[in-house]
Amino acid sequence: MIIARHFWHVVLVSVTLAFVLVGPLKSATVSGRVVDGQTKEPLPGVRVALVGTGKGAISGLDGTFLIKSSSQAQCRLKFTYSGYRDTTLQLDLASDGNLSGIEVGISRLTGKDQEVIITGSVDHGSDASSQQAVRVSDNVINTVSARTIEVSPDVSVADVSQRLAGVSIARTSVGDAQYAIIRGMNKRYNYTTVNGIKIPSPDNKNRYVPLDIFPSELLDRLEVTKSLLPSMEGDAIGGAMNLVMKHAPNREILTAQVASGYDGLFFDRKFATWDATSSNRSPRVENGDAYKATLGAFPISYFTPHNVSPSPNIYSALTYGNRFGENEEFGMILSGTYQSSSRGANTVFFQTDVAQDAVMPIPTDLELRTYSTLQQRSGLTGNLDYKLDDNNSLTLFGMYARLNKQELRTDYDTTVSLGYPKSIRLTTTIRATDEQQGIGNFTLGGTHKIFGKDLEANWNVAYSSATLNQPDRSELQLYGGSEFDSASGLYKNNPNIVNHGTRRWTYSIDQDKSVYLNLKTTEDIGGTPIVLTYGGMYRNKARTSSYDEYKLEANNGSTIQYYNGDITKDTFYVANPLGTPQDFLNYDAHENIAAGFGQAKVQIGNLTVIGGVRFEQTTFGWTSQIDPNLYDGKTGELTYLDVLPSLSLKYSPSEQQNWRASFFKSISRPGFFEVIPNQGVPGDDYTEYTNDSLNRTQAMNFDLRWEYFPGGLDQLLIGGFYKHLQDPIEYAVEYVKTSVLLRPQNFGDATNYGFEIDFRKYFSDFGVQGNYTYTNSQITTDKQVKYRDTDPAQTLRTRMEPQTRPLEGQSAHIGSLGLLYKNFESGTDAQLSAVYTGPAITAVSFYKDLDVWQKGYVQLDFSGEQRIAGNLTLYLKISNLLDAAHDEVIHYTYDPKNYGNSPMSSQVAGQDVLVRHELFDRNYILGLRFKL
Amino acid sequence: MSSSTATTFSVFASNFDYLTNPFDMKLLDKMYTRTLTLSAVFVATLVMTGTLLFSGCSSTTTSPVVSTKLTQVGNLITSDTLKGAMKGTLATGHTYYLVSDLIIPRGDTIVMQPGAKIIVLNTSPGSTTAPEITLLGTFASLGTKDKPNYITIDPSQQTYTNLPLGNWAGIQGDTGSGDLILKWTHIEYGGAQDRLGKNNYIIWFQSQNHNFILEDSWITGGQDDAIRVSGGHVSCMRNTFECGGYKGGDAFNVKSGTVGDIAYNVFMGAPTNGPKLSNKGGSTVQTNCNIYNNTIINCGWRQYQVGRSGSTNIEEGARGTEYNNLIVNCRTGLRLFNNPLADTAHVFYDAQFYYASRDNIRDDAASFGGFYPGDGIQVHMPLDVAGGTRQNDPQFVNYDVNKFAGLDSAFVQKSTMSRWTEDMTRVAGYDLHLKTSSPAVGKAFVGPAPVQIPMRACPQGGDFGANTIGLGRDFGAFQSDGTGNQH
């Protein structure tokens, strides 16, 4: 349409004068609002000078400014803002010397001097107010901008995601946000893109991408798309998380920041670490299948952790961007960041079993765990763009993000005696995990207007890779405990004896090669312009996973290996020097997706209709480690076609309001590992199988939203959604004759509906923003019930019964509330933000009604910054102010009478049975930021 | 439904031939000139999609095309070399050499006639690459008292030091295998690593609807559990388990889905238990076994976890019976575990005969001779024989029950664990029959039991049937009337 035709008139500069209600003014003031001339987005922090008077102001959070003027017939206002062209306006004042309600649009600095200053008439109640990305979008999205991220306490993109309406997060063992749960749909139902290009996952079994890999500083914007258009990949049911990385600015920029911090947990205890010196690849992968590993391949340092005071955390970032060339046709930006932090958690964990003939959890072990995790997060992103001419431009984007974790976990596991405390077993497990995850992406793209600018072509060629490397995850297990000595009436401690160690290498690489081509034309059909977009993509994915686990047996066969604190005195032998080449995590998989779509956009009056359909043809194949002489399924291939229609309606009765309704169909593909056949892996309780007849999940999604933009950056979004899922995937046990197997399965239908409210309101220097989402999902799956049969023998049996519950990870209530203060004059910025996550299932039990629920909790974070010199800002971030506990329970009331009449540590009579109680403490960051 | 999808796709595909070459400008040119046509087709597509949508249809669900197993051509067992997929008969008096994995395919059978012998080659102590017998079908070794069968390793490697290390990978059944029948068969030097690099059981049987008959045989050596049964019908009668469990484990470890009788066996020096019952694991059939008239000696001294028992044990939802077991110098007596709880309402036990050569063998609990483990919920029963130290010597014909009572023995300190020794685990060379003067003779429980003993879960009689016998009047495996264990 018109916008499209003028799309390459990159510089659209307008100064619109408009009346905006800013309340009654008393005397001789000039007031108004300053906005981006193109996007109409209010600009906070613009210096507004009343020329010739020395008076001025800085626009507030909502872009408003107010200057006390001396009465003159006319005044000249000069607007100065970094990245924008200086703009001066001559204005007539009212007879009393006042001028109010003007809206001034200023233009971005660009290479071409094409600015047009349009001076409109002063118009009371103008609807020429802000238009935000959310507002002009064709579909339902929510965003967080770089500026919001900068002043937030967030360190990784996963942290940022929890600020979005309808998003809750799953955390790591040390309490850091890791995965996004969108509208109660767990990670499996969402995908992640970088600048719109889907990226692979480093996970060696699944598709979903851990968001804690990405440092937040690389972002220009984080978007979550909740309704898909045909032009988007169709395998998101909850939503698609798009990381929009920094792009080349319009003028030279340089920002640098450095900060340090400390985790409050380590005020109270030491940080455990070890020397991680093992080889990057397993002895087998490095030396071939016939290679017999010797003890030399397994450094003993992994079994000998030592305590240190953690070095202070470091957070640093550097960004440089500029534009070159005669016409500034060449732009670049390079941004790098490095973070190193020592994190931890203290955990009480109960292992639970189930009673033999009742729906009742039985704690069997009480584990006390401490985690010490060193996280090193680094990221590099670069973006080059080159404008050949008005019709042709090219971009080259590169990104690499890496997260290294070194985690030491000590676990003291004591048996729960249930009234028979004559002997107490203690198993000590020391686990050292060295893990590196990396995600990289290179995208070359172009936009061309051809055939007299009537056809716009947009193409991208992308290479992405994701790697997971866990070199030598080590575990050492010691047996100890005490026995009651009837002679003395005392407990006698038994010495610790080394049981065994395991050493595990995990490696996975997933590589995508993709091409995308989209074409856009505008056709005039019966006088109505229709924007047609069609295109296609093809992606080849290749994934390789390797896995080896070596068992180091203590030499107890010859001499008992007592542990006296010095493991080097003990001796081991390698029980399986060849590794585990036949483990099912050694596999190759490929997936080719060919997709095409067509999409039409029509505007009829205030109604915008976008409809279309997407076709995705998926070909998935594998080669597994299964023995082809014995079993089916060594190799396999599966092809299917999806037809994914989508329809979005947007009705805008006024500039301040949008009504949206949308429908789309989408899918979610099973994880790679889940469908590759295996012959059954003996697990703790069940033999675990994969499921090669697992279907992808298909969903019908409906959205309704009302958007209200009363002015400025203020907004109120109220929406509802309904999803119907066919074949959702859940892990469940299954009875095959008399065997009970565990495997991923499709479970009929599930529904998920809810509503969201998202609001933001600014009062000059103050702002408040918040969101609330109610979600109600239901899925019915078969669960086990143990019971005693009424047959003459009263046999203990297990039957399957359906249980209806929410989807894993779905909280009925989630919400966030943020209070902001920003004073541009003094350069002060402060933010207090709270996120509430309501109860949700974190582990689905295989037994009926015994799911593990995380209790609701509030995370409260503070961040504040103060400009201390021209370009220098000092900032402070404190996360988890309330030291919120992460508690998990089973909904079964604890009564000591049911548990051998002996009170259990940490369990409280009359409350739900506790499964996990975890504390992370507060995290402090103090830093300096330099901005040119 | 599938046909409508296919139609849609073919219409669609014709529009998207450029996908095969997205950079062909001629195609792009053609694309543009065809824009209007495309638009028309596009609208048509929309309409079709709408139709699909509102008719409730969706794209099809396709089953994967998986590779089929490679066809196996069975060798005739005229060769003396065993490897790969085979079926047929191993003839009496012949020796066969197993050089790499022997696979008995599903539906196929290998029978060893009496007096046949298999020597496993390519073995080494603690091997991780040695061959196994992979059991998908049925295997029957039909030795007799006069002509026992052997599955062992090369005689040059047959030393006591090699015995517990696991030299070949044993008989590994899968969840759908056929029967496993071993009569009068010496299974020796097994227990090396299985193909997944994880387990070291000499025999793993896990086929719930099939029979595992182990009678009058010798299971000698091994690193971990000598035998694990994760489902099946069991008749484990009159066997000798010795010299096993180099790094731990139970001699006859029963998991969920297993029913049958375990009787008249000798368990010598198992790291934890001789026979152990649990209902842990994936079966809808409750574990239920009768354990009676076993002779259990020197067990439990190599279980490094505090409180784990050391003779015989029932836990985690299992039911069964324990009668007439002769428990000598074991770390603890019979244990009924409370967490996870055995199906205690349906566990019946009485008449175990205990002997301890030192005080500290029986100091776990103050009551009833102190033979009972502190974390169990079993109680002293009326017919139990549990006296003081060195009371009630069972009087074996040739075995000194006090031979390990010295200060240097493993029994000195309970908290000081033992390691594997030939002395404590070996049966050969001793005679565990009872003297007629033994207090264990004639005092055992002969019924009626609250439940049926024996259960006779396996078909009885004939070459492929079991010979399951009931309760004996003497404690332990050897009966003064000549019945019971025949070794």
In angstroms, what separates the C-alpha of A586 from chain B's closest C-alpha?
Answer: 12
The residue that leads in pLDDT, A698 or A155, is A698
In angstroms, what separates the C-alpha of B169 from chain A's closest C-alpha?
Answer: 12
Residue B422: pLDDT band with limits 50, 70, 90: confident
Residue A39: pLDDT band with limits 50, 70, 90: low
DSSP state of A265: H
Residue A442's beta-bridge partner residues? A398, A463
Flag if B32 and A641 touch (Cβ within 8 Å): no
What pTM was computed for the model?
0.83
Q: Which chain A positions have a beta carbon within 8 Å of B61's beta carbon?
A: 640, 695, 727
pLDDT digits (tens, 9 = 90+) for A397-407: 999 999 999 99
In angstroms, what separates the C-alpha of A445 from chain B's closest C-alpha?
Answer: 12
For chain A positions 803-842, those within 8 Å of chain B (CB to CB) are none
What pLDDT score does B148 carry?
96
pLDDT digits (tens, 9 = 90+) for B40-92: 555 555 555 454 444 444 444 556 776 655 443 345 588 899 999 999 999 88
pLDDT digits (tens, 9 = 90+) for B291-308: 999 999 999 888 877 767
Q: Which chain B positions have a beta carbon within 8 Å of A483's beta carbon?
A: 306-307, 364, 374, 414-415
pLDDT digits (tens, 9 = 90+) for A112-142: 333 323 222 222 222 222 224 556 677 777 7
The residue that leads in pLDDT, B370 or B470, is B470
Residue A11: pLDDT band with limits 50, 70, 90: very low
What pLDDT score does A375 carry?
95
In angstroms, what separates the C-alpha of B266 from chain A's closest C-alpha?
Answer: 22
Max Cα separation, chain B? 110
pLDDT digits (tens, 9 = 90+) for A658-669: 999 999 999 999
Flag if A416 and B285 touch (Cβ within 8 Å): no
pLDDT above 90 covers what percent of chain A? 54
AA identity, residue A594:
A
Least confident range of A99-103, A245-249, B378-382: A99-103
For A289, B119, B229, the CA distances from B168, given in Å and listed in that order, are 19, 10, 19
Flag if B284 and A738 touch (Cβ within 8 Å): yes
Residue B365: pLDDT band with limits 50, 70, 90: very low
In angstroms, what separates the C-alpha of A728 from chain B's closest C-alpha?
Answer: 14
Instruction: Work out how many CB contacts closer than 8 A connect A with B.
Output: 307
What pLDDT score does B321 carry?
97
- CA of residue A879 relative to chain centroid, distance: 17
In angstroms, what separates the C-alpha of B63 from chain A's closest C-alpha?
Answer: 6
C-beta of residue A834 within 8 angstroms of C-beta of residue A859: yes
What pLDDT score does A870 carry?
80
DSSP state of A280: S
Rounded distance between C-alpha atoms, residue A538 and residue B446, angstroms: 77
Q: Which residues contact A331 (CB under 8 A, 6 or more apart)?
A: A247, A248, A249, A250, A321, A322, A323, A324, A383, A384, A385, A386
| SS3 (DSSP) at B261 | strand
pLDDT at B95 over 80: yes
Flag if A556 and B419 touch (Cβ within 8 Å): yes
Orientation of helix B35-54 relative to helix B2-15, angle to 10°:
160
Q: Which chain B positions have a beta carbon within 8 Å of A487's beta carbon?
A: 363
Rounded distance between C-alpha atoms, residue B304 and residue A496, angstroms: 9
Flag if A420 and B374 touch (Cβ within 8 Å): yes
| SS3 (DSSP) at B311 | coil
Helix (H) or strand (E) holding A672: helix A672-675
Least confident range of A235-249, A479-493, B180-194: A479-493
- Cα end-to-end distance, chain A, whole Å: 38
pLDDT at B231 over 60: yes
Helix (H) or strand (E) holding B262: strand B258-263
The partner residue sitting opposite B39, judged by closest CB among A532, A556, A677, is A532
Mean pLDDT of chain A: 85
What pLDDT score does B42 carry?
52
In chain A, the residue whose alpha carbon lies closest to the alpha carbon of B271 is A557
pLDDT digits (tens, 9 = 90+) for A42-88: 777 788 888 877 788 888 777 788 887 666 667 788 888 776 778 88
What pLDDT score does A424 carry?
81
What pLDDT score does B31 carry?
45
For chain A positions 335-374, those within 8 Å of chain B (CB to CB) are 353, 355-356, 362, 364
Whether residue A528 lies within 8 A of chain B, CB to CB, comes out as no
Residue A211: pLDDT band with limits 50, 70, 90: very high
Residue B467: pLDDT band with limits 50, 70, 90: very high
For chain A positions 649-668, those within 8 Å of chain B (CB to CB) are 665
HEC sequence for A534-552: EEEEEEEEEEEEEEEEEEE
Flag if B22 and A536 touch (Cβ within 8 Å): yes
For chain A positions 583-642, those within 8 Å of chain B (CB to CB) are 583, 594, 596, 598, 600, 611-613, 615, 617, 627-642
Residue B145: pLDDT band with limits 50, 70, 90: very high
In angstroms, what separates the C-alpha of B196 from chain A's closest C-alpha?
Answer: 6
What pLDDT score does B56 carry?
40
What pLDDT score does A518 carry?
94
**CA angle, corner B134, sides to B133 and B137, nearest 5?**
115
pLDDT at B116 over 90: yes
Sign of the Cα pseudo-torsion (A173, A176, A181, A184, in order): positive
List of domains in chain A:
2-132 (2.60.40.1120), 261-931 (2.40.170.20)
Rounded distance between C-alpha atoms, residue B358 and residue B404, angstroms: 9
What pLDDT score does B26 carry?
47
Whether residue A797 lies within 8 A of chain B, CB to CB, comes out as yes
Q: Which residues contact B140 (CB under 8 A, 6 or more apart)?
A: B109, B110, B111, B112, B179, B180, B181, B182, B463, B464
Residues in chain A: 932
pLDDT digits (tens, 9 = 90+) for B310-333: 899 999 999 999 999 999 998 889
Q: Which chain A positions have a beta carbon within 8 Å of B21's beta carbon?
A: none
pLDDT at A537 over 70: yes
For chain A positions 843-902, those within 8 Å of chain B (CB to CB) are 900
Residue A692: pLDDT band with limits 50, 70, 90: confident
Least confident range of A103-112, B256-265, B437-446: A103-112
In angstroms, what separates the C-alpha of B398 from chain A's closest C-alpha?
Answer: 27
The partner residue sitting opposite B365, judged by closest CB among A486, A596, A631, is A486
Rounded distance between C-alpha atoms, residue A287 and residue A275, angstroms: 23
Flag if B340 and A364 touch (Cβ within 8 Å): yes
Tokens, residue A235: 């395998």
What pLDDT score does A712 carry?
67
Residue A474's beta-bridge partner residues? A432, A503
pLDDT at A396 over 80: yes
Rounded distance between C-alpha atoms, residue B427 and residue B239, angstroms: 12
Q: Which residues contact A153 (CB under 8 A, 6 or more apart)?
A: A159, A831, A833, A861, A862, A863, A877, A878, A879, A925
What pLDDT score does B39 carry?
54
The residue that leads in pLDDT, A150 or B229, is B229
In chain A, the residue whose alpha carbon lies closest to the alpha carbon of B284 is A738
Q: Is B290 exposed, middle or buried (0-12, 13-18, 19+ CB in 10 A)?
A: buried
Kind of pairing between the strands at A828-837 and A796-805: unpaired
pLDDT at B32 over 50: no
In angstroms, what separates the C-alpha of B373 from chain A's closest C-alpha?
Answer: 8
pLDDT at A111 over 60: no
What pLDDT score does A389 carry?
87
HEC sequence for A760-776: EEEECCEEEEEEEEEEE
What pLDDT score does A132 carry?
40
Residues in chain B: 487
For chain A positions 220-279, those within 8 Å of chain B (CB to CB) are none
DSSP state of A901: T
DSSP state of A569: G
The partner residue sitting opposite B66, judged by closest CB among A525, A677, A682, is A677
Flag if B9 and A615 touch (Cβ within 8 Å): yes
Flag if A549 and B281 touch (Cβ within 8 Å): no
Q: Which chain B positions have a beta carbon within 8 Å of A627's beta carbon?
A: 195
Flag if A479 and B304 touch (Cβ within 8 Å): yes
A interface test, pick of B86, B223, B304 with most A CB neighbours within 10 Å? B304
In chain B, the residue whose alpha carbon lies closest to the alpha carbon of A418 is B339
Q: Which chain A positions have a beta carbon within 8 Å of B137's beta carbon?
A: none
Rounded distance between C-alpha atoms, residue A178 and residue A226, angstroms: 20
The partner residue sitting opposite A613, judged by closest CB among B45, B136, B282, is B45
Interface predicted TM-score (ipTM) over 0.90: no
In angstroms, what separates the C-alpha of B306 from chain A's closest C-alpha?
Answer: 5
Q: Which chain A positions have a beta carbon within 8 Å of B71's beta carbon?
A: none
Flag if A635 and B32 touch (Cβ within 8 Å): no
Flag if A738 and B257 touch (Cβ within 8 Å): yes
What pLDDT score does A5 carry?
34
What pLDDT score does A835 carry?
93
What pLDDT score does B52 carry?
45
Q: Which chain A positions have a beta carbon within 8 Å of B85's beta carbon?
A: 629
Rounded distance between C-alpha atoms, residue A146 and residue A400, angstroms: 19
The partner residue sitting opposite B5, judged by closest CB among A415, A483, A643, is A643
pLDDT digits (tens, 9 = 90+) for A347-362: 999 988 888 888 999 9
What pLDDT score does A102 carry?
76
C-beta of residue B127 within 8 angstroms of C-beta of residue B167: yes
HSE-CB for B261 with a 13 A CA cutoff: 25
Flag if B282 and A631 touch (Cβ within 8 Å): no
Residue A622's beta-bridge partner residues? A589, A636
C-beta of residue A896 within 8 angstroms of C-beta of residue A902: yes
